[in-house]
Amino acid sequence: MSSVLFDVPGPRARRRNGILAVLTTVVVAAVIGFLVYRMSVTGQFSAEKWYVFGFSTVWGQILKALGNTLAAFGLAAVLSLVLGFALAIGRLSDHAWVRVPVTVVTELFRAVPVLVMMMLLYYGLPDIGIKMEPYWAVVLALMAYNGSVLAEALRAGIESLPRGQREAGYAIGLRKSGVMRLILLPQAIRAMLPVIVAQLVVTMKDTALGFIITYPELLYYAKLLSSQQGRPILQSAIVIGGIYIVMCLILSGLAKWLEIRTRRSGRTVLPPPITRATIAAHEITNTQLISAQFIGGSAGDAGGGGDAGKG
């Protein structure tokens, strides 16, 4: 029986995968070629369709809209992470009076679409005497939805860890908050980092929904450009879509760098030997002392075994 989920493909499987890869490449290339051909036939590459992008004022407005997009995304991403951590810890609480309300709030935020939430905040709150700027409507809606999704991802990551991890933490005298902060959360974050980054990419793209409530971000300005002379709809979509693609690639590259850094730093280091002075200075409990002696003894036995083997 194999110890992995999928075996290494054999000659027939490699040949079949190669044929499928070639066919997929040909189909994608054919679709792209057909679209380029149709754009050429309909005059989408003519100078009059792209003339609007020849003005520095237009690019200045695009940069301003990009700044608005990044401003909404940056704050929404930070608030989503904070809310996600809070909701995840709340759902793992041993107290029902904490766990049940947090679960209801999390499921409610996940069920309401982001656009509906934005429209409720911007168009609905004025009916009860609360006026909200488009920026805050976009940020709060993104925070509520993406924070609830991140909470579920973090909760799943924590619950997927071996039960022995938390039991070992309790065995050395840590409280639940210490076990969560020092043992469970660091491992869960490292394991769920791809999911967290994927959700942040979704957060960045969902800022485009703000154009419906007149938030002046990239898509809002693209809509204004498409109403100019010649109606450069496809051209505006290509330019603005390219900017979104570059931003998502930068975010994915940053996540890959963080993943490599955390993988390199995730090395186990044995604690230093505990002396009587250390015990007096830090008031180490008997349970912690026994645990540390056990770890040190295991390391010493391993080292001694290695020396014996050398002899």
Residue-wise pLDDT tens digits, 68-91: 999 999 999 999 999 998 998 888
Average pLDDT over residues 36-49: 85
Residue-wise pLDDT tens digits, 264-275: 665 544 445 545
Residue 284 is assigned to a structural domain of this protein: no
Residue-wise pLDDT tens digits, 160-177: 777 777 677 777 777 777
Which of the residue ranges 90-94, 147-151, 162-166 would you say has the lowest mean pLDDT? 162-166
Residue 91 is assigned to a structural domain of this protein: yes
Residue 180 is assigned to a structural domain of this protein: yes
| pLDDT at 189 > cutoff 60 | yes
CA 76/CA 81 separation, integer angstroms: 9
| pLDDT at 191 > cutoff 80 | no
State the average pLDDT for the chain.
80
Residue 136 is assigned to a structural domain of this protein: yes
| pLDDT at 125 > cutoff 80 | yes
CA-based max dimension of the chain: 87
**Tally of domains within the chain:** 1
| pLDDT at 55 > cutoff 50 | yes
Determine what percent of the chain is predicted with pLDDT higher than 70. 81
Determine the structural domain holding residue 207 and report its residue range.
50-265
CATH number at residue 107: 1.10.3720.10
Nearest to 141 by CA among 166, 116, 162, 124: 116
Residue 311 is assigned to a structural domain of this protein: no
Residue 296 is assigned to a structural domain of this protein: no
User: Which residues touch 79 (CB under 8 Å, ≥6 apart)?
Assistant: 139, 143, 147
Joined together, the tokens standing for residue 234 give 């496809």
Residue 273 is assigned to a structural domain of this protein: no
Residue 251 is assigned to a structural domain of this protein: yes
